[in-house]
Amino acid sequence: MDLKDKVLLKISIITAVIGLFSLFLIMFFYQPESIMIKDSNNHQGEKVAINGFVKSIYVYNKSSIVIIEQSSSIQGLMFDKIDMNLVNRSVTVYGKIQDEKIIIDKIIQK
C-alpha cells in the first residue's frame, strides 16, 4: 500500500463514521408531529404522534384495534401484541394516518 492508498482509506473510514453518527443523531432526535385527532384528515399519509386515552382494545389473531380518545376518537390498527392494561390509560401513539385510521408503530404509556 502506498501513501495515496493509506490517505484514501483514512478519508473513507472517517466519512463512514461521520455518516453513521449523523444517521444515529437523526434517528434519535426525530419526533413526528403531534396532532389532535380532529385534525387527522389533514395529515393523511403522514407519520404523526397522538396523545390521548385508550378507550378500548379489540384483539384478533395477529392484530389489534385500539380506540384512542381525546375530544373525539380514532381507530388504530396494530400488527403486534398489545398490553390489555392500557385501557383507560393516557398514552402517546406513534403511527401513520391512513383512511381516517392510524396504523400504529408503537404505543407509549405516559
pLDDT per position as a tens digit, 69-99? 998 999 999 998 888 899 999 999 999 999 8
**Residue 26 sits in the same domain as residue 37:** no
The structural domain count of the chain equals 2
Mean pLDDT of the chain: 91
CA distance 110 to 91: 5
Q: Are residues 25 and 37 in the same domain?
A: no
38 and 1 in a common domain: no
Do residues 6 and 60 both lie within one domain? no
User: Which residues pair with residue 98 across a beta bridge?
Assistant: 101
pTM, 2 dp: 0.74
Q: Does one domain contain both 55 and 101?
A: yes
- Residue 50, pLDDT > 90, answer yes
Beta partners for 35?
50
DSSP type of residue 80? S
Whether residue 69 sits in one domain with residue 58: yes
Q: Do 48 and 8 share a domain, yes or no?
A: no
Domain of 47, CATH number, reads: 2.40.50.140
CA 83/CA 79 separation, integer angstroms: 13
